[in-house]
């Protein structure tokens, strides 16, 4: 098959992402974020995100076309994230994608956001082609999911996910209770640099033997967040200073430890020597280093696409649709809608 020219639209959370790919080649990847508007609330506000998408879509599409030197009329197909994500935010992208596909008279592909994160890897020029099966760990402010990918277009299995907060959300909430600004991930990272990760033994969620039987690949971070809050409160009540660096380092260690331990357990259980990382939390160097080190010790090759492809973006959505087209998949009918809990 010839290489399709695909425009992808991603609006599942706070990033308005427009990406253009030809086959497996990245042509442009524009991202407009409403993160600054959410900062004063300490987290993403759905209504604010939806309105920001509405405002950012048209200029973002124009910017992506300009960046790639592609004319709108030359686009072969339109792709859009239909879920999972914030309902209102998704709806804006789905509406825009339908309008674009209808007006251009081009096929429209509705795709899953999580599978899109996996497809991001295809656009990484510096890496060897992705081999299957592979285990994928996706960690962001909105999701924490462990998947087994036997085939990108036909066989992606959700092994487990968070039962409460997403990993990035936990970073944001703990940063807040330490008095650090939003988004909390980079702030905790900075504070942790001078701290001792073994200073405080914070809990590893769903890691006890009894939990592992039922929730082997699931995550829980709300207990950890509460443990940090309690620890800080006790120090303050005793009139002692809070060692922010040690708390940040110990908290980060607890999150990283449980993420990497469960991801490598999935690799071992399924006899899969490959682990792909994705999502904005991958910006965390401690997480990358721990995954690489412990992966190497267990014979697991860890793949980490460039950060611009790991955070939410439209290029990964276009890349997934491009794979679907090249594998002969028929386009979606216009009957689909935004589905905030869309399964993989
Ligand atoms: O994928 P992403 O850009 O957006 C969505 O969640 O949709 O991820 C953002 C999340 C935020 O929760 C942020 O605090 C977290 O990723 N994050 C980090 C780091 N950089 C960003 N978490 C831990 N360490 C970091 N260095
Ligand atoms: Zn995402």
- Whether the predicted pLDDT of 79 surpasses 70: yes
189 labelled ligand-binding: yes
Provide the whole-model pTM: 0.96
Could you tell me if the CB of 165 is within 6 A of ligand 1? no
User: Closest ligand 1 atom, CA of 182?
Assistant: 14
* Rg (alpha carbons) of the chain, rounded to whole number: 20
Please report which residue ranges of the chain form alpha helices under DSSP H. Answer: 35-39, 46-68, 87-104, 113-119, 167-177, 184-192, 209-215, 222-237, 244-269, 285-297, 307-310, 314-326
Q: For residue 302, which of 290, 316, 286 has the smallest C-alpha distance? A: 290
312 labelled ligand-binding: yes
Pairwise CA distance, residues 175 & 246, whole Å:
13
| Residue 70 binned pLDDT confidence (cut-offs 50, 70, 90) | very high
Q: What is the mean pLDDT of residues 276-285?
A: 96
- Out of 2.40.50.140, 3.30.420.40, 3.30.70.20, 2.60.120.10, select the CATH number for domain 131-304: 3.30.420.40
330 CA distance to ligand 1 centroid (A)? 34
304 touches 274 (CB < 8 A): no
User: Closest ligand 1 atom, CA of 166?
Assistant: 12
User: Atom 1 (ligand 1): residue with closest C-alpha?
Assistant: 280
| Residue 190 binned pLDDT confidence (cut-offs 50, 70, 90) | very high
Could you tell me if the CB of 171 is within 6 A of ligand 1? yes
User: Atom 8 (ligand 1): residue with closest C-alpha?
Assistant: 280
- Whether the predicted pLDDT of 307 surpasses 70: yes
pLDDT score for 64: 98
Cβ atoms within 10 Å, residue 239: 6
Pairwise CA distance, residues 329 & 233, whole Å:
55
202 touches 250 (CB < 8 A): yes
Q: Tell me, yes or no, if the two domains 5-121+310-326 and 131-304 fold the same way.
A: yes
Could you tell me if the CB of 85 is within 6 A of ligand 1? no
- Whether the predicted pLDDT of 136 surpasses 90: yes
The architecture (CATH level 2) of 5-121+310-326 comes to 2-Layer Sandwich (3.30)
75 CA distance to ligand 2 centroid (A)? 25
Exposed/middle/buried for 271, CB within 10 Å: 0-12, 13-18, 19+?
exposed
pLDDT digits (tens, 9 = 90+) for 238-260: 999 999 999 999 999 999 999 99
238 CA distance to ligand 2 centroid (A)? 41
Would you call the peptide bond into 84 cis, given omega within 30 degrees of 0 as the criterion? yes
Q: For residue 220, which of 163, 174, 138, 279 has the smallest C-alpha distance? A: 163
Q: What is the mean pLDDT of residues 295-308?
A: 97
- Domain definitions of the chain by residue range: 5-121+310-326, 131-304
Name the strands in the sheet holding 108-112, side by side, starting at the edge strand that comes first in the sequence. 25-33, 15-22, 5-10, 77-83, 108-112
User: What's 340's DSSP letter?
Assistant: T
Contacts of 233 (CB under 8 A, 6+ apart): none
pLDDT score for 1: 55
Could you tell me if the CB of 183 is within 6 A of ligand 1? yes
User: Closest ligand 1 atom, CA of 12?
Assistant: 7
Q: What is the mean pLDDT of residues 114-119?
A: 97
Q: For residue 312, which of 157, 93, 126 has the smallest C-alpha distance? A: 93
User: What's 240's DSSP letter?
Assistant: P
Pocket test for ligand 1, best of 283, 290, 306, 340 (most atoms within 8 A of CB): 283
ipTM, 2 decimals?
0.97
Pocket test for ligand 1, best of 281, 304, 314 (most atoms within 8 A of CB): 281
Q: Which two tokens stand for residue 170?
A: 């936990």
Neighbouring C-alpha atoms within 13 Å toward the C-beta of 151: 6
Neighbouring C-alpha atoms within 13 Å toward the C-beta of 167: 31
Exposed/middle/buried for 169, CB within 10 Å: 0-12, 13-18, 19+?
buried
């Amino acid at each position: 098959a010839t290489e399709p020219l695909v425009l992808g639209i991603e609006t599942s959370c706070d990033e308005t992402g427009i990406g253009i790919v030809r086959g497996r080649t990245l042509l442009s990847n524009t991202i407009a974020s409403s993160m600054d508007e959410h900062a004063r609330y300490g987290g993403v506000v759905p209504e604010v995100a939806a309105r920001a998408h509405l405002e950012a879509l048209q200029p973002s599409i124009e910017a992506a076309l300009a960046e790639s030197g592609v004319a709108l009329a030359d686009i072969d197909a339109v792709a859009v994230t239909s879920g999972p994500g914030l309902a209102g935010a998704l709806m804006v992208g789905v509406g825009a994608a339908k309008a674009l596909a209808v007006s251009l008279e081009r096929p429209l592909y509705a795709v899953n956001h999580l599978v899109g994160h996996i497809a991001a890897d295809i656009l990484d020029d510096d890496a060897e082609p992705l081999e299957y099966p592979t285990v994928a760990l996706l960690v962001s402010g909105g999701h924490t999911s462990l998947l087994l990918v036997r085939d990108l277009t036909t066989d992606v299995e959700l092994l487990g996910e968070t039962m409460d907060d997403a990993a990035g959300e936990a970073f944001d909430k703990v940063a807040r209770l330490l008095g650090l600004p939003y988004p909390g991930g980079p702030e905790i990272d900075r504070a942790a640099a001078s701290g001792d990760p073994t200073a405080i033994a914070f809990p590893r969620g769903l890691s006890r033997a009894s939990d592992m039987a039922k929730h082997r690949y699931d995550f829980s971070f709300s207990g950890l967040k509460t443990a940090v809050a309690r620890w800080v409160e006790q120090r303050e009540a005793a009139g002692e200073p809070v060692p922010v660096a040690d708390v940040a380092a110990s908290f980060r260690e607890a999150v990283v430890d449980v993420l990497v331990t469960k991801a490598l357990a999935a690799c071992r259980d399924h006899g899969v020597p490959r682990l792909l990382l994705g999502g904005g939390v991958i910006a965390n160097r401690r997480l990358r280093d721990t995954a690489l080190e412990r992966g190497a010790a267990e014979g697991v090759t860890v793949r980490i696409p460039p950060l611009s492809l790991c955070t939410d973006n439209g290029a990964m959505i276009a890349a997934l649709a491009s794979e679907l087209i090249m594998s002969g998949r028929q386009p979606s009918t216009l009957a689909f809608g935004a589905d905030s809990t869309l399964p993989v």
